[in-house]
Structure formats: structure tokens, C-alpha cells
Structure 1
Amino acid sequence: MEGAEGNNKTRRGVFVTVGTTSFDSLVRAVDSQKVKQELVAKGYTHLLIQMGRGSYVPTKSEEDSSLGVDYFTFSSSIADHLRSASLVISHAGSGSIFETLRLGKPLIVVVNEDLMDNHQSELAEELADRKHLYCARPQTLHQTVADMDLNSLLPYSPGDATPVAKLINKFLGFPDD
């Protein structure tokens, strides 16, 4: 990824999605200077934030900024945003996770620690253990971006339901075969 900065005119966008919920701590984290600096250092040029029902409004970028930033609340479909992204940062909703993985996009899932009895975090952590994505918390997102090596991620094979079935069985307390 070296050499992606500088005069390279290639658009490398990051799409952030919180789904239909409010996840201000994720929006605030990606809007922080720490995360923005790490994204620029990795060669990303644009940041598009889908902020859902949240009340925190991100800062749009200045004209001279090295990272273009824009945001919106909802869209009838985020599929086009996912397809055009070079990196996706998402809440831990299974729909967003699997849609992104099916598209073969690098993914950082940020777990919402404010949710009680959060089963979504178990799915995200299991898929991270299997090297299909990175898993972070809002307060560790900048470090995850800094440390990520997208070449170490393994493609997710949507045709093989066995890993998901095993995860569901584990979650339900059934013995592993």
C-alpha cells in the first residue's frame, strides 16, 4: 500500500455504515483526527459516513483536506456505496457484515458496546478469528486501521454454510461434531 499517497489521483474510498440504528460512538470515532490520519496514511482519499438515527454530525472536509468527508442519514440501498468502497467500516449487524463479505470488500466491524446482550459481537469476533474481517471497538478503531494488513484477510466463501452453522450451534450450546 506504500506509494498510495501523494500525487496519485486514484480515488480510494472508505464507506462507514451504522445501519438503521444510532451508533454515535462509531461516527464520532471515524470523525476523529486519529482515525482520519490513519486512513490518509493508508492511502484513502474519501470517507463517506452513513450515520443512521444518530445525533452526532460529522465534520465535512475542508477544500484543502487530504481526506474528503461526506455523510448522509439513510439511503434506500447502500449496495452501490459498498461496491464502490475500497474499505468498509461497519456496525456489527449480520446483514451489513455478510453483504460486505459477499462483495469481497475489506471490512472492519466496530462493535457497539452500548447494546445489552450483544450477540452481534460474537459473530464479528468469530469472523475476525477466521481472518475474514477486522473487529474493533470505537476507542480502538484508530489502532485497528493503523495495524491492519488487508493482504492477511481471507476471502469469505458464502456458498459454504458450515462455518456459520457451527457458530450458531456453538451459540445455542450444541456440541461440536
Structure 2
Amino acid sequence: MDGSDGSLEPRRMVFVTVGTTSFDTLVRAVDTQEVKEELSKRGYTDLVIQMGRGSYFPAKSSGEDGSLNVEYFTFSSSIADNLKEASLVISHAGSGSIFETLRLGKPLIVVVNEDLMDNHQSELAEELAERKHLFCARPQTLYNIIATMDLDALIPYESGDAMPVAKLINRFLGFPDD
């Protein structure tokens, strides 16, 4: 597969998503020179950032000087194609984004937004990280996670059968078993 610039180097894209919210601290973290250099050192060629409602605009780059090609956008009707094309996903801790990425079998770094009150999302991200399905970071630890991550250590996520849980809930609510 050729790179998008006509070179023989394959395109290896990092896709960053913040969902529909504003998560400028994550966008700022991936826009640092040290993070971009580490991604480039690890063989990634492109950085595509979905920045949501954020007010911080990352620096675009064509990548012609050997650095990452950096692009960004605010919203899209669907990020499914971006997720499918990605070699690595860096995401906010929304359960939809997490599980969609894991179902596609993509390596994932979930960055917890510490500014959210009552952040149940961090519990989900930390539990899945403990089970080695993904890496969990904070904006200030993102560089260290990227620099030390071993993608081969990740265990593929296999979604379970939700029927026993649904039956238990139905029984609890007083609905008859089918």
C-alpha cells in the first residue's frame, strides 16, 4: 500500500476523538512537539484530530519535512471511517467511542477528562486498562503512555452475551421470563 503522498511508506494514521464535547486539554496534549515526535518515531505518518466544540486549534502540518501530517476537524456525521482507517486511536472516555474502537480491534489510548464532575467514565477506562484491552492516560501523562506503550501486550476485547444481564434486569423489574 502506498502512502497518500505517493511514497512507498504506508500511511499509519493516529485518530484522536473528543466526541461532541470540548476537551481542549486532550487536543493540546496531542499537539505538543514531544507527542508528535514520539508518534513519528513509532512510525505513524498522520495525525487526524476530531476536536468537537473545543476552542483550541492544533497546528496543521503537511508532513513534507518528515514530520507528521496533521489535520483537524470539529464534527462529522460519522467517524466510523476514521476509526477503521486508524492504526492507533486516542479517545476521550465516552463509552460509545471506547467500545466502537475496541470492536474494530484498534489499539486504543483513552484519555480521561479530569474536569468532568462525577466522572464514571474514568472507572470504565481504568477497568478496561486493568484488563489490558486499552491504555488509560490523563492529558499530562499521554506522552509517557505513548513512549512506553507495548501494543503487543493488549488483549483483544470480545463483547459478551448481554442476555443474562437483560433477563436479570427484567426479573428485578417484575417482567416475566421469556
TM-score clears 0.5: yes
Does the CA contact (< 8 Å) of 2:20 and 2:75 recur in 1? yes
Equivalence for 2:174: none
CA deviations on 1:56-96 (whole Å, 9 max, x unpaired) are 00000143242100000000000000000000000000000
Does the CA contact (< 8 Å) of 2:15 and 2:49 recur in 1? yes
Secondary structure of 2:77 counterpart: coil
Secondary structure of 2:110 counterpart: strand
Equivalence for 1:139: 140
Equivalence for 2:88: 87
Distance 1:152 1:8 in 2: 28
Equivalence for 1:155: 156
Structure 1 residues 83 and 156: CA distance shift in structure 2, 3 A: same
Distance 2:126 2:162 in 1: 17
Per the normalisation by structure 1, the TM-score is: 0.85
Equivalence for 1:4: none
Distance 1:58 1:64 in 2: 18
Per the normalisation by structure 2, the TM-score is: 0.85
Equivalence for 1:26: 26
Distance 2:44 2:10 in 1: 9
Q: In the TM superposition, what is the alpha-carbon distance from 1:158 to its structure 2 partner?
A: 1.2
Can you give the 5+ residue segments of structure 1 that lack an aligned partner in the other structure? 1-6, 166-177
CA deviations on 1:19-78 (whole Å, 9 max, x unpaired) are 000000000000001110110111100000000000000000143242100000000000
Q: Does 1:127 pair with 2:124?
A: no
Can you give the 5+ residue segments of structure 2 that lack an aligned partner in the other structure? 1-6, 167-178
% identity of equivalent residues: 77
What number of residue pairs does the alignment pair up?
158
Secondary structure of 2:15 counterpart: strand
Distance 1:41 1:90 in 2: 21
Structure 1 residue runs of 4 or more that deviate by more than 6 Å after TM superposition: none
Equivalence map 1:25-44=2 (5 Å)? 25-44=25-44
Q: Pairwise CA RMSD of aligned residues?
A: 1.7
Secondary structure of 2:155 counterpart: coil
Secondary structure of 2:16 counterpart: strand
Q: In the TM superposition, what is the alpha-carbon distance from 1:159 to its structure 2 partner?
A: 3.1
Structure having the higher Rg = 2
Distance 1:130 1:160 in 2: 18
Distance 1:133 1:108 in 2: 6
